[in-house]
Amino acid sequence: MNSGQIMTAQLENGGTIDFVLDANAPRGGMKHTFFTPDKKYAVQFFNNPQDGQNPNIQDRIRTIVGIYNPTLSEQDGGALGNTEKTAEYFRSRFCWPVAIVQSPEFGIVCPTYPQRFFFGDNASTHGLNLKGKDKKSNWFTGRMRKYISSGELGDFRTMLSAAICLSRSIRRMHQAGLAHSDLSCNNVLIDPQTGSTVVIDIDSLVVPGKYPPEVCGTRGYIAPEVLTTMELDPRDPRRCLPCVSTDLHALPVLIYEYLFLRHPLAGPKIYSPDSAEEDDFLAMGPKATFIEDPNDTSNRPQDLKITIQSLSKGLEKLFLRAFVDGLHNPSERPTAMEWERELLKAWDRLRRCENPHCEKKWFILRDEREPVCPYCKTRVTDKIITLTLKSAMRGKQGVYRDCGEVVVYDQMPLYDWHVYSNVHNDEKAGNDMRAYICKHNGMWLLVNHGIEGMTSPTGRLVPKGQAVELKDGAVFRMTDRENGLLCEVSAI
């Protein structure tokens, strides 16, 4: 192999792509990677060429590149129901294969990760040379965090954003009929500065009922039932293989790590004093115990100051379902859609900490009657304004139901999903700001930035550029157009 030599690969779609030979090509568990001269694409081949000749592997990859692909519109041969807008949204959130290599041997072409998922200069304050390395999430959530420059670490708000981004991607993948099978810190890259994630190693996805998994997962993220039955023959009906429900264990493990910077099962409990290997197997497998299990405190660290009770009540319930009810009972685990919804509700309850030195900078306001930052114990001194959004019930004129709640902060933007009942905060929604909150001369105002038909509590029209004062008990329409939401103000 002559490093630096340009080779041309023939693609199954009839095209070609050039790649640069590299004697030190990055090599993973199954494949090695070369890059195109402009480094915009990665060309990957199997470490064992016989794997590439396996007709089942080839067939699975063809379906992943085609009819299961959420980064392609349905019109272009991608996932069912996908528009070009949603396909574009997920292109930056998945490193999805875009083509299949026919020769010199079977392989795949993937876009390279966006630059924000690589460490740049000065990423470490301790002399570690991280430049060019992938931003795997355990750099930020594990023991290596102390070596990362503070500017790279983000804050609680950006880590919550990353959790939303990941749960949305996994929800879309599951909707397409796929399971990842190896969802872990290695296969999800994270950028805490922007609060974004990208899911990688897509070509090993499981198509339920059609293509079995090739891998069992990564330590710490493997579902207990998979680890417990790993020694059984794959054809044994008692053997549990990676699938959607095992993704639904790995997903909350990652979310928990993003929000708490620790593993939900790694506590002080000793399961086997005589064997470290057996202890680890029991701790992550058949005897796994949530460190915050309210019924079993045997694995609870003594210095656990920040707990799931520092989050919203909805997120607390989901973590208990995932790691108590569902830890050894897969059918009880929350879906990716449930995680996405509750994380979004928590996002609308974010509050900026008034302590300028607070490391987390933001927190979820769980209880307006006890408004204290759980991280630095700083109490909120400002007035707490909550907007309860209500949608009209069909067939019942003048009757409304609660459909959302927003705890406001200065310069908070509001979007279509805060204005219309038929718009949800997902990949289909636009990101144009429609209104914003500001504090002016001691008054809290909701300023109309781009909404037609906003009305004041007295019923007058509020033109663009003008505002509604957010007084306790005020009720007004975000818009009088179809599907417009009603807004009720609470000020404490």
| 166-193 residue pLDDT tens | 999 999 999 988 999 899 999 999 999 9
User: Using an 8 Å Cβ cutoff, are 127 and 100 in contact?
Assistant: no
**Residue in the structure block whose two tokens are 């906003």:** 454
Closest among 28, 170, 176 to 108, alpha carbons compared: 28
User: Using an 8 Å Cβ cutoff, are 393 and 485 in contact?
Assistant: no
Burial class (CB in 10 A: 0-12, 13-18, 19+), 206: buried
pTM of the model: 0.95
Cα–Cα distance between 204 and 186 in angstroms, integer? 14
Question: What is the per-residue pLDDT for 129?
Answer: 87
pLDDT tens digit sequence for 244-287: 999 999 999 999 999 999 999 999 999 999 999 999 999 999 99
Question: What is the per-residue pLDDT for 214?
Answer: 67
**Residue in the structure block whose two tokens are 């304004």:** 385
Cα–Cα distance between 423 and 189 in angstroms, integer? 29
Burial class (CB in 10 A: 0-12, 13-18, 19+), 456: middle
Question: What is the per-residue pLDDT for 60?
Answer: 87
List, for the chain, all residue ranges whose pLDDT scores fall below the cut of 70: 1-2, 211-212, 214
Question: What is the per-residue pLDDT for 405?
Answer: 95
Q: Which two tokens stand for residue 372?
A: 């204290």
All domains in the chain, ordered by first residue: 1-112 (3.30.200.20), 118-348 (1.10.510.10), 383-491 (2.60.200)
**Backbone φ/ψ region at 91: left (φ over 0), alpha (ψ -120 to 50), beta:** alpha
Q: Which amino acid type is present at position 326?
A: G
Question: What is the per-residue pLDDT for 1?
Answer: 56
